[in-house]
Amino acid sequence: MIRTENLVKSFNDRTVLNNITTVFEQGKTNLIIGQSGSGKTVLLKSLVGLHPIDSGSIYYDDVCFSSLGFKEMKDIRQHIGMIFQGGALLDSSTVEDNVKLPLDLFTNQSEEEKLERVNFCLNRVELLNSNKRYPAEISGGMVKRVAIARAIVLNPKYLFCDEPNSGLDPVTSCVIDNLIKEITQEYQITTIINTHDMNSVMEIGDKIVYIHQGNKWWEGSNDDILRSDNKELNEFVFASAMAKRAKLATL
């Protein structure tokens, strides 16, 4: 479980996150949604410590993550997996080496054990026969799968995904969404996904936090969202004609 209390973050004089208090639950896919520039990515990066916060607290289970020093934060980070928007695979390493890197750095396993684990994770994301290929030689969907495999290779307790299906076709997006959902339930991970893909919201959103102009504007489940009368949320979620029809059908 990850909990934030009165989280505030600003850049120069501009407040980007204002008093965000919420809970992201374990074993559930927690979604952060909001318009571009609303502060979603800053919130996600603040949660993992890439952006130091101005005030408030971030708790990982019972540990106050935001008050930890560099070394203690590093220890917790070994339990964190993160999938970046562009995959963020190391360009100079093969698929296999990218997934193996956390094992190389933080375990004392033999080379055979490490390869076994790498292949297990690559199989788990249904990526076969690509071990020796470089990130530039595989498709966007495959890059995301490798990023997921790398994120889960150390059995993380917390998984963060920054727009995991941006730039992907609808079919591949669904595959990636379902994969994240399955992994979350299988390993009881606290998963936080930053997205503005409404299909993801409806399909895998166990808990949804809507950020509007840096404030937590609404939170609830994907069922609640259809019945919500929050004006800004409705404007955002039902912006497309298709979504409006879906809402009318539900009502």
In the complex, minimum distance from the CB of residue 239 to another protein, in angstroms, rounded to a whole number: 28
In the bound state with another protein, the residue whose beta carbon lies nearer, of 18 and 78, is 78
In the complex, minimum distance from the CB of residue 230 to another protein, in angstroms, rounded to a whole number: 32
State the residues that interact with another protein by CB under 8 A.
45, 48, 50, 74-75, 77-78, 80-82, 84-86, 88-91, 101-102, 104-106, 160
In the bound state with another protein, the residue whose beta carbon lies nearer, of 64 and 90, is 90
- Given the DSSP bridges, would you call strands 190-194 and 29-33 parallel, antiparallel or unpaired? parallel
In the complex, minimum distance from the CB of residue 89 to another protein, in angstroms, rounded to a whole number: 7
**Identity at 66, one-letter amino acid code:** S
Strand partners, 33: 210
> H or E element: which one contains 239?
none
109: its two tokens: 């396993």
Kindly tell me the sign of the dihedral angle through the C-alpha atoms of 107, 111, 115, 116.
negative
Other beta carbons within 10 angstroms of residue 248's beta carbon come to 9
CA-based max dimension of the chain: 58
Strand partners, 9: 17
In the complex, minimum distance from the CB of residue 141 to another protein, in angstroms, rounded to a whole number: 18
In the bound state with another protein, the residue whose beta carbon lies nearer, of 80 and 95, is 80
In the bound state with another protein, the residue whose beta carbon lies nearer, of 74 and 132, is 74
